[in-house]
Structure 1
Amino acid sequence: MPPTIALLVGFQGAVLVVAPTVLNVAIAIRSTGPDDTFLTWSVFAAMVICAATTALQGSQLWRFGSGHIALAWPAAMFIAIMVAAISIGGPAMFATVMVICSLVQIALAWWLPVLRRIITPVVSGTVTMLVAVSVLPIAFDAVQDLPDGTAPAAGPAIAGVTLLVSVIATLRATGRWRLVAPLISILAGCAVAAAFGVLDGDRIADARWFGIPEVPSLGLELTPTREFWALLPTFAILTLVLGIKTISDGVVIQQGSRRLPRAIDFRQIQGMVSVNGIAMFLAGIAG
């Protein structure tokens, strides 16, 4: 592929990933109460880790990597349990659980044939729907998280327009426009927020375009508590569900990347799941 085309395709992929990466991290962090320093660092770390994960997925190093273009971004299914972990035990507990669950993800790649018979698509789909329902209270609370003096109707209006545009763009748009539906809905929500005077343009204008943000206090919880052991099974189950979803995505990516039908290469699927484990490990280390 010519370098110019590769650069343009990579730029398109980066634009598609930025919206869900920033949005998922911001929702989770804002719901737990840490300051802007922690939020800025979390978004920065997430973007760097997603970039490294995408690059690693495009290669194959031993049993790591799928050898295909597989864009990476934070999984929305972890938002609710992440909020619970940080609220109960702080960022250190969440980081420790992520490090442990990264080993679960790598183990899933090694024991792929056995676990595929246990965690069927029906099981993983049911868990995903339950997780989506558990995120709704967090979303409703965020609707009223507005500056003092803001009109009471601002929150529902911004959320309603954002949701409406997202639904229309997802259902009616085709091709590339459907892929950028989240970005379009965010821009529509920002326009409504600006109309209500909620959008802080000064912070956007004063923000740096390049640089490394201030690193907050990071660490791991080396003395597990009862709350830690209570949250660990839920994280482990979600990790397995994420792994099964990755397997399905890997099959689709392989089928779409070949002009002629061929048998699925499950070594590449294992490599794809293993890289997800590395990404979770890096996310835990980065706080």
Structure 2
Amino acid sequence: MSEISSNASAAGSGATDVRDPNHMPPIGQAIPLGIQHVLAMFAGNITVPLIIANAAGLAGADTVFLIQMSMLVAGLATLLQTIGIGPIGSRLPIMQGTSFAFLPVLIPVAKAAGGLAALPVIFAATLVGGIFHFLIGTVIGRFRGILPPLVTGLVVMTIGLALIPVGVEYMGGGKFAKFVTKDFGAWYHLFLGCLVIVSILAAKFLTKGIASASAILIGLVIGYLVAIPMGMVNADKITNAAWFSIPEPLKYGFDFTSDLAMTAIIGMCLMAIVSAIETVGDISGITKGGAGREPTAKEISGGTMADGLGTAIGAVFGSMPNTSYSQNVGLISFTGVMSRHVVTIGAIFLILAAFFPKIGAIVAAMPNAVLGGAAVVMFGMIAGAGLKLLSDVDMDRRNMVIIALSLGVGLGLKAEPGVVAALPVWATMLLTSGLFPAAFLAIFLNLILPKHLEEI
């Protein structure tokens, strides 16, 4: 891999090849590079279904199924991006996975419905939201000008900052079911969470290559192994899971009619706008970091449509909303390899893994504190990715005002949701998500404020 990286920065035909999305490295290099993309996103992809399963208080078998479907749909959605169908797909090395951005909507729905009743509501909202996201992709190229790095950076940063408390709560033992665990905050939960964080940092900065790129996965494995002799891993979930299973579409059905369903659908459609903005940021990051150019309108439109279609397909199979993964954008910048075929290989590995429920059962048995340690790092990295996008922004008085108001209102309402408790349920859910008000204000203020404010 180091040879590929050096070639990427060298002059000549080699540099042109690896920075071409259509270039196919030798299969001996392409396979490990594809697996590396899976390792970089695997922990994040399974985190969302784990969080929703805990929030709804689901049984082990249902949790395993959600994890299984998250792998299948991530692989299928990635193929939509890398291979494409007609105008759908960016034909860029974009890895798809379950989206953290929708958690502020999904968690309250899971808590409110509880148990299996939550899933038909979630998947109905995901289907409608995915279709709406797809339609956004057909026109988003015309509105590219209202999504500068100031807006996309704020959106990505807000996602990370709004979700960091989720990781911290998991480190304490978890409090997303209908009750707080009796030993919430116990020393052994905090010990495991901190062990995972330290292990991730050690793997990231004391190793190189695939080990460094898969630091999150290494941290999870170390925390998991240490939790076993501590008696914190439920082996029954693993023992009872099947070795092989064919995915079952529409297993939980759809609920489009309940009051909660309508609230969830509105929330998912509005969050789809925010997710589309995030996707534009990721596409820009790939073309800039991997090829040193701006993305084309066709790439932005096709990538956004693939995002939406992947989410809609996920609803049918039983997966949470999908989106492009920012950590894989960073991986492309690190390796210098722009080949979409490498990411296609990673997608095939994900699809194959989905047919073996034992893999999902092993993940489902993971203690909350172990997941929490990794989540704190991952959510923090998302916030850092937003900060990196903002680093290209001129921090003048105008832009500082936009940043201050967007973050202040967005995160403030999330921290104190009682301020808007008197509003309708759907409005309260959106305003306290952290993400929607921040994104709306960033776009609105960027459009109406003068480009150059006079010094006072």
TM-score (norm 2): 0.54
Match of 1:281 in 2: 312
Aligned partner letter, 1:104: F
**8 Å contact kept, 1:31–1:142:** no
- Does 2:256 align with 1:222? yes
- Could you tell me how far apart the structure 1 residues matched to 2:161 and 2:271 are? 11
Structure 1 gaps of 5+ residues are none
Summarize the Cα distance change of 1:7–1:91 in structure 2 as closer, same or farther, 3 Å threshold.
same
- Structure 1 range deviating more: 187-196 or 198-207: 198-207
**8 Å contact kept, 2:250–2:317:** no
SS at match of 2:255: coil
- Structure 1 range deviating more: 129-138 or 274-283: 129-138
Match of 1:157 in 2: 191
SS at match of 2:56: coil
SS at match of 1:31: helix
**8 Å contact kept, 2:136–2:276:** yes
- Could you tell me how far apart the structure 1 residues matched to 2:249 and 2:143 are? 41
Match of 1:82 in 2: 106
- Could you tell me how far apart the structure 2 residues matched to 1:73 and 1:54 are? 8
Instruction: Give the CA deviation at 1:115.
Output: 6.5
- Does 2:143 align with 1:92? no
SS at match of 1:111: helix
- Could you tell me how far apart the structure 1 residues matched to 2:132 and 2:205 are? 36
Instruction: Give the CA deviation at 1:203.
Output: 4.9
SS at match of 1:195: coil
- Could you tell me how far apart the structure 1 residues matched to 2:207 and 2:267 are? 36
Instruction: Give the CA deviation at 1:49.
Output: 0.6
Instruction: Give the CA deviation at 1:265.
Output: 1.5
Instruction: Give the CA deviation at 1:109.
Output: 1.3
Instruction: Give the CA deviation at 1:183.
Output: 0.4
Match of 2:432 in 1: none
Instruction: Give the CA deviation at 1:33.
Output: 0.7
Deviations 1:122-176 (A, max 9, x none): 5524641453156357535644799999x94322221222233335555676654
Alignment of 1:180-259 (within 5 A): 180-201=214-235, 203-204=237-238, 207-212=241-246, 217-225=251-259, 227-258=260-291
Alignment of 1:53-64 (within 5 A): 53-64=77-88
Summarize the Cα distance change of 1:133–1:4 in structure 2 as closer, same or farther, 3 Å threshold.
closer
- Could you tell me how far apart the structure 1 residues matched to 2:266 and 2:106 are? 13
Aligned partner letter, 1:92: P
**8 Å contact kept, 2:100–2:159:** no
Instruction: Give the CA deviation at 1:55.
Output: 1.5
Summarize the Cα distance change of 1:209–1:217 in structure 2 as closer, same or farther, 3 Å threshold.
closer
Aligned length: 284
- Structure 1 range deviating more: 12-21 or 94-103: 12-21
**8 Å contact kept, 1:63–1:271:** yes
Instruction: Give the CA deviation at 1:26.
Output: 1.4
TM-score (norm 1): 0.83
- Could you tell me how far apart the structure 1 residues matched to 2:281 and 2:139 are? 16
**8 Å contact kept, 1:80–1:134:** no
Match of 1:20 in 2: 44
Summarize the Cα distance change of 1:140–1:4 in structure 2 as closer, same or farther, 3 Å threshold.
closer
Summarize the Cα distance change of 1:11–1:178 in structure 2 as closer, same or farther, 3 Å threshold.
closer
- Could you tell me how far apart the structure 1 residues matched to 2:265 and 2:145 are? 21
Deviations 1:251-286 (A, max 9, x none): 22223443xx44531201211111110111022222
**8 Å contact kept, 1:247–1:273:** yes
Deviations 1:187-209 (A, max 9, x none): 12113312312234565466544
Over aligned residue pairs, what C-alpha RMSD do you find?
A: 3.3
Match of 1:38 in 2: 62
SS at match of 1:240: helix
**8 Å contact kept, 1:96–1:221:** yes
Instruction: Give the CA deviation at 1:238.
Output: 2.5
**8 Å contact kept, 1:108–1:115:** no
Summarize the Cα distance change of 1:206–1:36 in structure 2 as closer, same or farther, 3 Å threshold.
closer
Summarize the Cα distance change of 1:16–1:138 in structure 2 as closer, same or farther, 3 Å threshold.
same
